[in-house]
């Protein structure tokens, strides 16, 4: 039953993303800063108000080529949902690294879904969608295969992002 619920939630997100505006910016009254909220894509993370951490973090990260090669052996037939906060230092550090790894793999951006939340880890007006993912910390990278969650990385990697990614793929 849980797997069916997750699958239905994923399908709803993929369908609803087309109907929602991407890269919405709002003032988070808890921190008095502009944040991205709701569905986002890479371009949203690269706009000037967020690009300082994204562009620099992407450029500075060097993934282990041997691990990238091992990741490539698993193919690209899975999806990843990222729940992040543009206000969060861990998101600012890990999300650019994630995209550096994804680019090295040639991972299709259409297989990546990004949801941005406020400081309370809410998406105002869409709390049900966030609740389905049981988000406690950000960023959370959730890996899906055949409509089922297969693993997640939360906040900071145990080893490196690419090593933890590989551990998840070994369980697909």
Q: Where are the domains of the chain?
A: 2-170
Q: What is the pTM of this model?
A: 0.87
Residue in the block written with tokens 């691990």: 67
At 1-55, the pLDDT tens digits run 555 444 444 444 444 444 569 999 999 888 899 999 999 999 999 999 999 899 9
The domain defined by 2-170 folds into: Glutaredoxin (3.40.30)
At 109-118, the pLDDT tens digits run 999 999 999 9
Q: For 151, which DSSP code? A: E
* Average predicted confidence (pLDDT) for the chain: 89
Max intra-chain CA distance, the chain: 45
At 91-110, the pLDDT tens digits run 999 999 999 999 999 999 99
């Amino acid at each position: 039953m849980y797997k069916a619920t997750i699958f239905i939630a994923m399908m709803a997100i993929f369908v609803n993303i087309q109907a929602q505006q991407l890269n919405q910016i709002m003032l988070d009254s808890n921190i008095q800063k502009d944040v991205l909220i709701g569905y986002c894509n890479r371009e949203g993370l690269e706009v000037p108000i967020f690009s300082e951490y994204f562009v620099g973090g992407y450029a500075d990260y060097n993934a282990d080529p041997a691990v990238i090669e091992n990741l490539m052996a698993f193919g690209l037939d899975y999806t990843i949902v990222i729940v992040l906060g543009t206000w969060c230092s861990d998101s600012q550090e890990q999300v650019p690294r994630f995209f550096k790894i994804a680019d090295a793999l040639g991972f299709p951006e259409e297989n990546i879904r990004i949801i941005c939340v406020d400081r309370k880890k809410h998406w105002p007006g869409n709390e049900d969608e966030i609740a389905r993912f049981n988000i406690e910390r950000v960023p959370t990278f959730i890996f899906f295969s055949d409509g089922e969650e297969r693993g997640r990385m939360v906040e900071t990697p145990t080893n490196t992002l690419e090593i933890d990614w590989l551990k998840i793929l070994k369980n697909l």
